[in-house]
Structure 1
């Protein structure tokens, strides 16, 4: 069994040479910002405020950003040393061994499967709100996931996921160009909401800014803020989708850290502003169960026309997020297939040298998940997979530093305040994971048990990593 067998970086790098290095810093900023300030910024602030934190939801976003920031710095360093398809999976396989890489990659796989379904559901909720004033209403059976409000399938979610897969199937450069156009519109829409929303803020809605804690419901106080952190942490997974496409980056030593860190900084500023304005416009309790609070808040404040425009552009932004996640998730599936941990057909490329099987596999699974699980529950499941991968990457920096300049290249960008910040990234991710609700941790546990069975019964026996593992894998510690 090759659980501890470390993969050879050079053979991984050579295996990814067929990818065209076409993505620039601008592409990565567009994909990163587009993924981070997508469904989460237009859907979650209101729900988290109503269910957990009140106006203190802004602290939930900032705490989540702080933890994500520590990990983003680790991602930036990793991606300059090892610009490989599969991001954390490939990195951890090289640094710690095949089995640990599988665990990190399996966590990310759950993230992408569920995140694509989550964004598709958010897109559907916002589009239905946009069309409602025009008298367009889908039959209940086609408007919601199975078992939710009489739904059988969310047809809009299905179609938008399918559309994003078709664009990614055409190539990363097409997805990058479309993202650059749409992300500008989305940022303009967010800024328009902030500027207009400020004019209708009622200061009384901010009092108390941190509502007292209710031990029966879990609402309020620092406990409520922390619960909010766990739910919205998924907002910051965008930089992982950048790293997953690093094999297609032009000059990754420069483009990767700029894309990862730059997109996070932009997103944090916009998240904080939108959240503060949103809870100031209406009492936070009014947002309970509302999956499209930004458009709703504008409409109820007398800006119906602007609400329609912002919601329409928000839809474009969510589409960018789908492109980024399908891109990243399909490259992860390709990496699994490349190494034999999943069927080798996932590691095969079409005539355009793209992992078409990975694209369609991701799309089909996401559509099925979106058909059966409600929107709010998906949020915490995404965070679970993300946080586990983040813990691995944070710890991986220690091994990476020992091996740079030996069997791994020197980093063009290095995480500052080493060795303190990697530890903070790990501890912060662990605490956020512990704050997830019981169901999220239970389902993530079932997912990992299922993954372990697949690895032991299939992956460890057929792993290509055995063939490409370095004969010197244990010489550099």
Structure 2
């Protein structure tokens, strides 16, 4: 009996060693089809092929992108992406439809979930400081198929998210001219073409609404800025963020003395509809799913890793710093907004200006100046969100194209501006068309659920790499020691699943349909074009050859493993 136990323990130890070795040293020849391996087994095994972190490090040194971003610019990138539609648009809608004045609690719940995610993103970014965000992390931990799923899913976060912002930007554009110059623009060219009814899950054409021109134009202008250069984009974003923060603080301090406490009663409106998504305690969590969109953006910092001066140190600073600053702003703004105006009045594209209007009506004071400044600040704020979302999506496409999962021309870098201009133009054009046609609530809900799925994978990746690659240096590590710190990603995974579960069923179905489309593209194109399939040995060898000597023999352990490229072996073995 004792011998049997020892044999079992030895087998378990061997299995664990084999599992760990798969991550610690990936021989490029292991990606080839073996002579005794069937086609079906090979293609199934291909789905789990990992991209070693050493290979990612090597590729990052030959990206051709400019490394110019500092830690403060990364913080501004995070704030620029976070504070926007969530506070200027979705906060009012979630308060009016789901949580009432308790929308502040919804923001706190969403902030906790985002905080867990920020910790996991920070650890992963300090280990794998390359472009691609959750897509790249999934490739290093769970294999190519999961990486594709997350890369496809990130389109919902960044591209569809930017389209949502474009719709909100158009609303504030109309409001600004109405308040500042008393000019009323027609809805035929300032509203999306169709409308979405969440309760009946139906989409319909709105007569007289042809094309959202302001949303389309601003997205194309931002796309042009991103093509010109990352340095110019970063300085533009920093200036906009400073204006945005000033306007939010001005709104808070100007109206906090005019809050009507009667608007906080009842703080948690009772559920009278029979649907648990609307008000009551469950409504708070339903609203948290919606306003979770407000915290999307800190992960966009990781997509700029190849353009950061010191990514291993600065990426965690950018992620956590931007999230903390934004959370404080959100809580203060929502508290003042729901106190200034009854929550039932906030179901509009411009809820912040409604709060100013209500204070003006109730007190008889002239707050037109504040409305003009707040509306202008909202326009600036939403512009920065557009800038960062489009930047992030183009970098994800760039990373996927470099891996062969998307056509190679998408990964082209402009010889003068050093930007992935093809990816940027494609992303900008598609996003502009989405903003011109689709409504904000349809886009916003899809973005929230898609982001939660990406967060879930990043949390899982942290846990996997803790056990499989403990040797890799982590400039930032989740606090709590070896095991207690794992509570952060575990809790983050649970929260992500719970927030997805309380989303509208139609939103979840749309996510499944979107993923189904992604699977068709992957199995029809990407799986056969992947560089780890077509020529893995050559890909490893090329990365090793092209990497600078300082990278291959770095004192901090950033070593590219030495492999011999034997073409004859590749030609004989890779039969598929």
TM-score, normalised via structure 2 length: 0.79
1:356 paired with 2:400, answer no
Q: Tell me how far 1:403 sits from its aligned partner.
A: 3.9
Summarize deviations over 1:60-91 as a string: whole Å, max 9, x none: 11000001100110000100110111111111
Q: Tell me how far 1:114 sits from its aligned partner.
A: 0.6
Q: Tell me how far 1:244 sits from its aligned partner.
A: 1.1
Q: Tell me how far 1:188 sits from its aligned partner.
A: 0.8
Which residue number in structure 2 is paired with residue 247 of structure 1? 306
1:21 paired with 2:67, answer yes
User: Could you tell me which of 373, 381, 396 is aligned with 1:332?
Assistant: 396
1:457 paired with 2:524, answer yes
Contact 1:7 1:470 in 2 (8 A): no
Q: Tell me how far 1:103 sits from its aligned partner.
A: 0.9
Q: Tell me how far 1:215 sits from its aligned partner.
A: 4.5
* Cα distance in 2, alignment partners of residues 213 and 114 from structure 1: 31
User: Could you tell me which of 490, 505, 511 is aligned with 1:423?
Assistant: 490
Q: Tell me how far 1:237 sits from its aligned partner.
A: 1.3
User: Could you tell me which of 184, 189, 199 is aligned with 1:142?
Assistant: 189
Structure 1 spans left out of the alignment, 5+ residues: none
Which residue number in structure 1 is paired with residue 126 of structure 2? 80
1:266 paired with 2:310, answer no
User: Could you tell me which of 115, 119, 127 is aligned with 2:161?
Assistant: 115
Summarize deviations over 1:429-477 as a string: whole Å, max 9, x none: 111111111121111111100001110110000012334587999xxxx
* Cα distance in 2, alignment partners of residues 56 and 90 from structure 1: 37
* Cα distance in 2, alignment partners of residues 152 and 7 from structure 1: 46
SS in 2 for 1:22: coil
Task: Give the stretch that moved more between structures: 325-334 or 415-424.
Answer: 415-424
User: Could you tell me which of 442, 448, 464 is aligned with 2:509?
Assistant: 442
* Cα distance in 2, alignment partners of residues 356 and 433 from structure 1: 34
Which residue number in structure 2 is paired with residue 305 of structure 1? 369
SS in 1 for 2:298: helix
Contact 2:71 2:318 in 1 (8 A): yes
1:9 paired with 2:43, answer no
Aligned length: 470
User: Could you tell me which of 147, 156, 165 is aligned with 2:214?
Assistant: 156
* Cα distance in 2, alignment partners of residues 464 and 111 from structure 1: 26
Q: Tell me how far 1:9 sits from its aligned partner.
A: 2.3
* Cα distance in 2, alignment partners of residues 283 and 360 from structure 1: 42
Q: CA RMSD in A?
A: 1.7
Which residue number in structure 2 is paired with residue 279 of structure 1? 338
* Cα distance in 1, alignment partners of residues 470 and 512 from structure 2: 38
Q: Tell me how far 1:405 sits from its aligned partner.
A: 5.2
User: Could you tell me which of 457, 461, 464 is aligned with 1:396?
Assistant: 461
Choose 1 or 2 for highest CA Rg. 2
Contact 1:232 1:379 in 2 (8 A): no
Contact 2:223 2:424 in 1 (8 A): yes
* Cα distance in 2, alignment partners of residues 215 and 138 from structure 1: 36
The 5 Å alignment of 1:97-116 reads 97-116=143-162
Summarize deviations over 1:87-142 as a string: whole Å, max 9, x none: 11111101111111111111112211211101111111011011113243333321
* Cα distance in 2, alignment partners of residues 465 and 415 from structure 1: 31
Which residue number in structure 1 is paired with residue 449 of structure 2? 384
* Cα distance in 2, alignment partners of residues 240 and 433 from structure 1: 18
* Cα distance in 2, alignment partners of residues 50 and 299 from structure 1: 17
Q: Tell me how far 1:236 sits from its aligned partner.
A: 1.0
Which residue number in structure 2 is paired with residue 411 of structure 1? 474
TM-score, normalised via structure 1 length: 0.95
User: Could you tell me which of 260, 268, 283 is aligned with 1:210?
Assistant: 268
Structure 2 spans left out of the alignment, 5+ residues: 1-42, 196-205, 361-366, 542-559, 562-576
* Cα distance in 2, alignment partners of residues 152 and 252 from structure 1: 44
* Cα distance in 1, alignment partners of residues 89 and 444 from structure 2: 11
Contact 1:404 1:411 in 2 (8 A): no
Contact 1:335 1:347 in 2 (8 A): yes
User: Could you tell me which of 288, 291, 299 is aligned with 1:229?
Assistant: 288
